[in-house]
Chain A
């Protein structure tokens, strides 16, 4: 049995209701008793529609959101019980890549500053000098298929795919073991998406990373992930090996999602219009 990287144990999150001048809103059960575990070195996919709780769960793993009940453990350490200093150390090992590469890079920072920022933030853990940080930035860029000539440019000079590469380089800067990928390719064209997916596969093979991959695109999840969990209205509906779920979905929800997938194949009834 492989080592457990991330364990989510019976987590619930309730956002309290509000009473305002425009009336009251009921409380929202964003997550209901979610349990799952991610093994070291695997790619775990989380699939759900908008409003299903994917983002709440991701934010909980980063401890940006405190679960109402249940616990989240990263390599055995319970996030809820850590002090601020310990939490900061842990965060060097857990990093995230966001969906929109146009919004997640500061337009006024050069690529060099963007990629070295995590090294500054985690200075006490990593302890790199200024020169070492710059060298590391160049190394990270070459890791994601860019070059040192890009270091002193600004985000607006890059295409969407290149920006997402910069985001990945920034996420890798502090040497994480667990990477949260929050729909990293849904803002990209298919041709660019293919490049980014291949980069992610390659990086995982080379660095032994663990991926927690959030997406609503089942085709991408099927391609990249070993195991998958489907979430609907805050509850895990089904989880298991990718091949099992795609070949023999057990729940109604999984069948519905897989059935709604737009596959690129010639439809059976092609007589339309003519």
Chain B
């Protein structure tokens, strides 16, 4: 059996701040295979983005401090690599898309130059990226990279792509810029794509197009995706699997159909009932009282217990381990049997 594309095992991350050390990731376990789109959802401050940044090792240490655990990319522990080795993986094996398409492109350079740079950097480690012989001269490589850049732009749905290579970022709309960033992330043919809130800044109609583009790219490039979002609707529309995060823990994970279709963990259920649907009557929306706890002094035991309507005294004893409740569907809650009865009963 080959190693999974990405396997995060028991990852613990602490962050130093003026007030003390916050235990922001508290034993994350996540496995992503090729062809899967994993949604990471939760409120702000639950550690979704930190998980993404940890995979690409973009979180500076200090203030971050990896206490325990490993992040395996096809068996290789990313936490043990030097920054120089990591640099070689980024853009080539790990592609990234961030939330704000305006600040992630350099306004002073043409789109084409920025894409060509990434393509050439990726080609240094894998000559197969460019369609030219490995011993080709600089000039030939540049021409090949430019052709590839144009092809990629066309692929992400930018009309008249070759000509648009000479445009500057300000000449594109928000949705187009996000497409450029996706093209940039895909140009090195990554194995793993990390998309951190890629559509939060965009309109719903553009959002739908971008999500469709990410979905299609998974098949075209045979890669795995970690999609970080706070929108459960986006997860339902796009992802094959979902992991619900709360205060540095994955509280529920599994295939989208299972988790969204029959959520078991009280937090997942509360998140879902906070979203107005067609059937929600005016004034009947169920909010989730309170906010994400301070992680410098996290609540004892299950971190969701203080906000949980099903909490028992026993919940504060220890952090519950994830228990399988079905096909790949796992829930970290001590009352999982009763919660399940509630879902199905």
Given contacts A205-B283, A246-B278, A267-B256, contact A191 B205 (CB under 8 A): no
In the complex formed, the residue of B with least CB distance to A199 is: B287
B255: Cβ under 8 A from any A Cβ: yes
B4 → chain A, closest Cβ, in Å? 12
Asked if B274 contacts A191 (CB within 8 A), the reply is yes
How would residues 217 to 233 of chain A score, 1 for a CB under 8 Å from any chain B CB and 0 otherwise? 11110111000000000
Whether B203 lies near A50 (C-beta < 8 A) is: yes
The interface centre, meaning the residue of A161, A201, A270 with most chain B CB atoms within 10 A of its CB, is A270
Q: Which segment of B56-64, B74-82, B189-197, B227-235 sits at the interface?
A: B227-235
Contact A191 B271 (CB under 8 A): yes
Q: Is the CB of A264 within 8 A of B277?
A: yes
B288 sits at the interface (CB 8 A): yes
Q: Say if the beta carbon of A237 comes within 8 Å of chain B.
A: no
B side interface size, CB within 8 A: 45
Residue B261 lies at the interface, judged by CB distance under 8 Å to chain A: yes
Partner of A223, one of B205, B230, B232, B282: B282
B198 within 8 A of A: no
Q: Interface-forming stretch among B31-39, B88-96, B114-122, B311-319? A: B31-39
| Distance of A205 Cα from B282 Cα, bound (Å) | 11
* Cβ–Cβ < 8 Å partners of A190 in chain B: 43, 230-232, 271, 274-275
Contact of A159 with B by CB under 8 A? yes
B291-317 residues at the A interface, CB under 8 angstroms: 291
Map CB proximity to B onto A151-193 as digits: 1 under 8 Å, 0 otherwise: 0000000011100000000000000000000000000011111
Q: Is B205's CB under 8 angstroms from A197's CB?
A: no
Nearest CB of chain A from residue B46's CB, rounded to whole Å: 10
Report yes or no: B174 in contact with A191, Cβ–Cβ below 8 A: no
> Which A residue's beta carbon lies closest to that of B261?
A266
Please state if A195 and B289 are interface contacts (CB–CB under 8 Å).
Answer: yes
Given the complex, which residues of A lie within 8 Å of B155, measured CB to CB?
none
Complex contact A220–B276 (CB within 8 A): yes
Q: Is the CB of A270 within 8 A of B256?
A: yes
Query: Is A146 engaged at the interface, CB distance under 8 Å to the other chain?
Result: no
Contact-size category for A: 35 or more
Q: Which of A6-14, A80-88, A115-123, A254-262 contacts B (4 or more CB under 8 A)?
A: A254-262
A49 at the interface (CB under 8 A from B): yes
The proximity string for B residues 249-284 relative to A, scoring 1 for CB distances below 8 Å and 0 otherwise, is 000000111001100000000111011111010110
Q: Is A40 an interface position by the 8 A CB rule?
A: no
The answer to whether the Cβ of B53 comes within 8 Å of any Cβ in the partner chain is no
Q: How far is the CA of A61 from the CA of B276 in the complex (A)?
A: 28
A265 to B275, CA, bound (A): 11
A263 at the interface (CB under 8 A from B): yes
Q: Are A189 and B44 in contact (CB under 8 A)?
A: yes
User: A194 to B36, alpha carbons, bound, how many Å?
Assistant: 31
Cα separation A273 to B240 with both chains bound (whole Å):
6
* Cross-chain contact A263 with B233 (CB below 8 angstroms): yes
Give A270 to B36 CA distance when docked, in angstroms.
Answer: 12
A–B pairs, 10, beta carbons within 8 Å = A191-B43, A191-B271, A193-B274, A195-B288, A263-B233, A264-B272, A266-B236, A270-B257, A272-B240, A274-B255
What 5 A-B pairs are tightest by C-beta distance, nearest first? A262-B233, A223-B276, A194-B287, A273-B240, A191-B288
Query: Beyond the given A191-B287, A270-B255, A270-B256, could you list 15 further A-B residue pairs with CB under 8 A, ordered by the A residue number?
Result: A49-B206, A189-B230, A190-B231, A191-B43, A194-B275, A201-B283, A218-B204, A219-B233, A219-B275, A256-B205, A265-B236, A266-B236, A266-B261, A272-B37, A273-B240
Binding site for A on B (CB under 8 A): 33, 35-37, 43-44, 174, 203-208, 211, 230-234, 236-237, 240-241, 255-257, 260-261, 270-272, 274-278, 280, 282-283, 285-289, 291
